[in-house]
Amino acid sequence: MIETFGEIDPPQRLLMGPGPVNAHPRVLRAMSADLLGQFDPEMTAYMNEVMALYRPVFGTNNRWTFLVDGTARAGIEAALVSLVAPGDTVLVVNFGRFGLLLTEILGRIGARIETVEAPWGETVPLDAVAAAIERYGPKLVATIHGDTSTTMAQPLDGFGALCAAAGALSYVDATATIGGMEIAADRWGVDVVTGGLQKCLGGPSGSAPITISDRAATHIQRRKHVERGIRRDDIDDGDGLRIGSNYFDLAMVMDYWSEKRLNHHTEATTMLYGSRECARIMLQEGVEARYARHRASGAAMTAGLRAMGLTVFGDDRYRMTNVTAAFIPNGVDAETVRRRMREDFEIEIGTAFGPLAGKVWRFGAMGYNAMKHKVLLTLAALEAVLRAEGVVLPAGEAVPAALAAWDATR
Amino acid sequence: MIETFGEIDPPQRLLMGPGPVNAHPRVLRAMSADLLGQFDPEMTAYMNEVMALYRPVFGTNNRWTFLVDGTARAGIEAALVSLVAPGDTVLVVNFGRFGLLLTEILGRIGARIETVEAPWGETVPLDAVAAAIERYGPKLVATIHGDTSTTMAQPLDGFGALCAAAGALSYVDATATIGGMEIAADRWGVDVVTGGLQKCLGGPSGSAPITISDRAATHIQRRKHVERGIRRDDIDDGDGLRIGSNYFDLAMVMDYWSEKRLNHHTEATTMLYGSRECARIMLQEGVEARYARHRASGAAMTAGLRAMGLTVFGDDRYRMTNVTAAFIPNGVDAETVRRRMREDFEIEIGTAFGPLAGKVWRFGAMGYNAMKHKVLLTLAALEAVLRAEGVVLPAGEAVPAALAAWDATR
């Protein structure tokens, strides 16, 4: 007898860590629609709608705005492997774990990697970026918008222009901020931006929205190499070095998303339905209102944690609005607190990586969870757990402080 | 005013092409469950259940049986880039478009590619494979189980032993057959097999089940390279050449799916829920019963097409049970027929690639659509459309012939 386990039945848990977070119910409902053939006219119409819906999400008019079929990390690798050839010099603007991830991916591509860094908890000043560009002459400058490992958001106004002036392309990983903090691909002048659904867009992991400037698209298409099994007279190979991945070959993926509809992978239809609904919800709320809601949630969480006597990590000027790290009080077992939060309150809060591992908890308020009541419930629960664990703290201060901050920010 | 389009509302279309096909409603319902944190105990329990559920699906006891987060093509690339280093000789057993795809992916990895081929519509005899192994001394032999481009299924009993005896690893892409024709990874002696959900497993594209023998896992783990941002004292790098992709680094993905739970990508939770339900449905039906259902559906489709006077493509001895190609009658506009099938009957049938483009239609009966009534409806609709298009054919013969074939096979 083969074990088939029970029906899927996860606990109703409130996910207040750095992501993934709970999906908006509308997104999950949209994903229950039945499938379509990948070249059926209704399917290709949905693909075109997704392209249109994600342009305002990215703050862009880029024609090439679509989905990579994989998690946010797939979007990052697709961007880098399509933009960078072995031996190209790439400057990584690194201020946390996800900056390191860029170097790890680039190393496998065979790039020459240079970095300009900030300590965890800070960001990299634009003049340091400019100096590094001048020093290294990179073909690409790559960075992270919000790095959840440090809770810092790199200021990006002027970033793209700086790169373009030096003849470099620019890439930003916006996985942790898209849908929660403003992404302004065009105003930033950035060539390629990628994201994911599982944080501020309020969907499940597994689809990576991407936007590509015409300049970068031209660069990528020069590296096009059409599979022998599907060659057509109307589509030529480029004269550039073939992209090192087939799945992540954005030149081919663009042909799939264009009127050419050249077969590549089989589009992940259900994830596309979900991605579409994430963007619809965001645009119906209004992008400004949505960013304001995340700002208010983050301000409330921060104020509540501080009112509880906890010390918030990182430079206030550059903290992400949607995730907040607080130092674990001395003498407290961090994992016991996380377990009691989960078991007694069905609330998940986050651990940390690298230099912050064991030092801070991370509290997210993202997407469908960037709401007043969810922040207040998290703070009330945390206060109760910390008191039960013997932490001496001001009783009953966190919730009113959070409420006041919420109201002041709205 | 930003356009946000309407709610997702695809037509209720019967997808009888070579895939994707309609998802089983239970799969879509399972995917509407809310999300969990990626290291929550309930989530990791679901991951372990998925590993257990896919072992009988693959016909294996392999410990390393899990999901790659992407479409079926992502599973193929993950397997190849993790198994093959630049300069390695790989023998591709090629009898269609998807064999060509293997060579395309391997070319980008920098492999030395040798092939042993069969014309479209045939398969490669095992003694030809043996001779090619002897001639080229490959490190890996890679092939396709069922290639939908030709509707042929390569016989694989003895294949793995042949490779192992020559010191080669073996890989099989079973995307088009998994869940519909028997996959016997252990009996075949094959090291790595990958699949997808969107055909005979009756789910949406976007998750790629994979199984890896201990021998192949050891080979892959020697190439492990842990990201700097998440290094831990209990996990060492291997001494082999670093895998050329981060996202597809199966050594890291195995650490994520193991008790180590080393962070890699954020698991695509909703796709995992769907993958889990696909396997549960299959195992509850019984793998033998499921294969028999696909055989009966394919036999019925084939008999019906022949009774209509159409000529079925390819060698009967090796045809896949779940997809059937038939030549387009002379003087008929193939796309007009497909459009009338879609617009008048809401039934999708498939086109073809490469040497068969414009010559055949492809009819699938896969997963939730490998059912008597769906085959009969497709045949009845096709007969009506062909008659309307002026094709002279025996009237009313297809359905009874299909019914008789169904009954004879059940």
Report DSSP letters for A233-253, one per residue: TT----SSPPPS-STT-HHHH
Cross-chain residue pair B5–A280, CB shorter than 8 Å: yes
* Minimum CA–CA partner of B16 in chain A: A37
Residue B309 Cα, gap to closest chain A Cα (Å)? 27
Our separate counts of H helices and E strands in chain A read 14, 13
Cross-chain residue pair B8–A243, CB shorter than 8 Å: no
Backbone angles phi, psi at B189, to 5 degrees: 70, 25
- Chain A residues within an 8 Å CB radius of B276: 5, 8
Flag whether pLDDT at A1 surpasses 80. no
Closest partner CB to B100 (pick from A33, A37, A228)? A228
Q: Where does A24-282 sit in CATH, by number?
A: 3.40.640.10
- Chain B residues within an 8 Å CB radius of A101: 227, 229, 246
Closest partner CB to B31 (pick from A2, A32, A245)? A32
The pLDDT value given to residue B146: 98
The pLDDT value given to residue A226: 85
Cross-chain residue pair B104–A228, CB shorter than 8 Å: yes
Count Cβ–Cβ pairs < 8 Å, chain A vs chain B: 294
Reduced 3-state DSSP string for chain B: CCCCCCCCCCCCCEECCCCCCCCCHHHHHHCCCCCCCCCCHHHHHHHHHHHHHHHHHHCCCCCEEEEECCCHHHHHHHHHHHHCCCCCEEEEEECCHHHHHHHHHHHHHCCEEEEEECCCCCCCCHHHHHHHHHHHCCCEEEEECEECCCCEECCCCCHHHHHHHCCCEEEEECCCCECCECCCHHHHCCCEEECCCCCCCCCCCCCEEEEECHHHHHHHHCCCCCCHHHCCCCCCCCCCCCCCCCCCCHHHHHHHHCCCCCCCCCCCHHHHHHHHHHHHHHHHHCHHHHHHHHHHHHHHHHHHHHHCCCCECCCHHHECCCEEEEECCCCCCHHHHHHHHHHHHCEECECCCHHHCCCEEEEECCHHHCCHHHHHHHHHHHHHHHHHCCCCCCCCCHHHHHHHHHHHHC
The pLDDT value given to residue B199: 98
| Residue B80 token pair | 């190849």
Backbone angles phi, psi at B10, to 5 degrees: -70, 155
* Minimum CA–CA partner of A17 in chain B: B37
- Chain B residues within an 8 Å CB radius of A100: 227-229
| Residue A408 token pair | 């002041």
Taking the C-alpha atoms of residue A288 and residue A292, their distance in angstroms, rounded to an integer, is 6
* Minimum CA–CA partner of A339 in chain B: B40
Burial class (CB in 10 A: 0-12, 13-18, 19+), A304: buried
- Chain B residues within an 8 Å CB radius of A107: 242
Rounded to whole angstroms, the maximal C-alpha distance in chain B is 74
Cross-chain residue pair B100–A229, CB shorter than 8 Å: yes
- Tell which of B247, B261, B346 to mutate to test the A interface (max A CBs under 10 Å): B247
Cross-chain residue pair A245–B46, CB shorter than 8 Å: no
Q: Is 3.40.50.720 the CATH number for B287-409?
A: no
What does the pLDDT average to over A228-250?
Answer: 88
| Half-sphere exposure of residue B79: CA atoms within 13 angstroms, side-chain side | 37
- Chain A residues within an 8 Å CB radius of B23: 34-35, 270
Residue B14 Cα, gap to closest chain A Cα (Å)? 9
| Residue B82 token pair | 């993790």
**pLDDT (tens place) for every residue of chain B, 410 residues total:** 789 999 999 999 999 999 999 999 999 999 999 999 999 999 999 999 999 999 999 999 999 999 999 999 999 999 999 999 999 999 999 999 999 999 999 999 999 999 999 999 999 999 999 999 999 999 999 999 999 999 999 999 999 999 999 999 999 999 999 999 999 999 999 999 999 999 999 999 999 999 999 999 999 999 998 888 778 877 888 888 999 999 999 999 999 999 999 989 999 999 999 999 999 999 999 999 999 999 999 999 999 999 999 999 999 999 999 999 999 999 999 999 999 999 999 999 999 989 999 999 999 999 999 999 999 999 999 999 999 999 999 999 999 999 999 999 98
Closest partner CB to B42 (pick from A10, A43, A277)? A10
Domain ranges of chain A: 24-282, 287-409
B20-282 has which fold? Answer: Aspartate Aminotransferase; domain 2 (3.40.640)
Residue A74: CB partners within 8 Å, gap ≥ 6? A68, A208, A248, B69, B70, B74, B247, B265
Cross-chain residue pair B33–A53, CB shorter than 8 Å: no
DSSP classification of residue A150: T
Cross-chain residue pair A206–B19, CB shorter than 8 Å: no
Q: Which residues pair with B147 in a beta bridge?
A: B152
* Minimum CA–CA partner of B96 in chain A: A229
Closest partner CB to A15 (pick from B19, B35, B230)? B35
Share of chain A above pLDDT 90, in %: 94
Cross-chain residue pair A230–B198, CB shorter than 8 Å: no
How would DSSP label each residue in A180-195?
TS---HHHHT-SEEE-
Cross-chain residue pair B35–A12, CB shorter than 8 Å: no
* Minimum CA–CA partner of B351 in chain A: A39
Cross-chain residue pair B205–A269, CB shorter than 8 Å: yes
Burial class (CB in 10 A: 0-12, 13-18, 19+), A259: exposed
